[in-house]
Structure 1
Amino acid sequence: MQLIDIGANLTHDSFDPDRDAVLQRARDAGVVQMVVTGASREHSPLALKLAKRHPGELFATAGVHPHHASEYTAECDAEMRELHTHAEVVAVGECGLDYFRDFSPRPAQRRAFELQLQIAAETGKPLFLHQRDAHADFMAMMRNFDGRLGPAVVHCFTGTREELFDYLDRDWHIGITGWLCDERRGQHLRELVKHIPANRLMIETDAPYLLPRTVKPAPSHRRNEPFYLAHIVEELARDRGEGVETAAANSTATARAFFRLPLPPTAAQPSE
């Protein structure tokens, strides 16, 4: 079974003590490739640096999450554009809108999102999208770029049935995380994942966040890592009424096509 984690925050400082061991555990669990999320002015360059150390195995996104939208200056835009000249950077984002916490003012969020949509329109790269409690504005801004954007994935989908079908009607892809395993907040996803076409469904951990709550025995820590992607695909397969091998093969094929990833190297070793 080969898996691709389309969203792992591997530059997070919680991985600093044992990042190489984290990568090895993922390999041992069948995770053959990962997309390292770049979600800020600080961490997008770090995601690229990490991808360059593991050619063919790790790839990166480059963008500014709505939480950090206030940092999206003209200089930041220039930095993002430079990052997107590198082949290892395979998507624009994480970008979008988040009205749940409003860590950046909403006008700043919309401006940063629009500028990153412009980058996607100019480069033709896929979009790695974030949306929480901002569906109407999110859809309106995406419609403003109709006909100008390549493929898009709504990363870490946790929304409603109506939101899901709005996205599917636009031919967007859906990223499912361990939120599926949360009996408090993710129970509705158990039914919704049945409606996502296999060629539009991808899986991700969003590590170190969202440790699946159904992992047994429960680890002593709360840090998620790509190793747990195998657990997520097992839960997903059960909810969709299909075999684990089928769910894994479909999500891997979809991710490889979406991000235009090469076949994985036979032995992934850090590049000096």
Structure 2
Amino acid sequence: MPTAHEAPNSRPPAPHVPAGIHPEQLHPAQRTILSVLVGGQILGGIGMGATLSLGSLLAAQLSGSAAWSGMAATMSTLGAALAAIPLARLAVARGRRISLSTGALIAGAGAATAITSAAVASFPLLLVGLMLLGAGTAVNLQARFAATDLAPAGTRARDLSIVVWSTTVGAVLGPNLFGPGETVGAALGLPPLTGAFVFAAAAQAAAAVVYLAGLRTDPLLTAMALRGTAGTAHRKQSGLRILRSTPHARYAVAAVALSHATMVALMSMTPVHLRDHGASLTVVGFTISLQIE
């Protein structure tokens, strides 16, 4: 059985690969891995769904101008971009288990920072918190790849789709926690518009525990052991090189970027306009959940 290429001493030993398992057969741990990823994605989705739109309201409040409300989505997206490559490298070195749980903990710390920013009325600190929260989006995206690490060709698309769909559950539930979040926040003596961030921090912490406890058979490290150095070399291809050589890849990136820009613009400004017209946080949250759905 081939093993992963020689690695630095800091890399964990190659995981045990059951005898007779071929890379294109269903690995015995795949169903468990999918269940863990689904659970983690629902929790992560609750955290992100509860904070993106509230972040725009909090940004407008702390900055004193609705013109700054879009910075919530900007900083969250920037944080996801900054976290993506380090978390991917961590996954290759230490496995998906460590990478996903680390990203979830960073996002949880971002939620706590956002609460602190409201308590001290610091707009710059809020931006830092929202940027840290962006690590949750990077985890969300990386979990989709984790679903395919050990999936055979015949079920790879289905397994990825299951994990993507599970994120929607949390993302739809999250915005509907705006109202209950304010109740919890008031009971804890927190500033207005920060209660849902408590749920976000708790959900991200729970997601980290789910990944740490559930991904004992690490999908990426096991896949690398099964496929050998050829699979590892393929994973290390430069993304920019692929974009330069593949027109369809450039088209896909442009389409995703433009559609995401439209979606985020709507999600950022809708809560501000609704609040200006007297809508409650419960109505704001329900409206955003309909948009996500």
TM-score, length-scaled by structure 2: 0.22
Q: Which has the greater radius of gyration?
A: 2
The structure showing larger relative contact order (alpha-carbon pairs under 8 Å, at least 6 residues apart) is 2
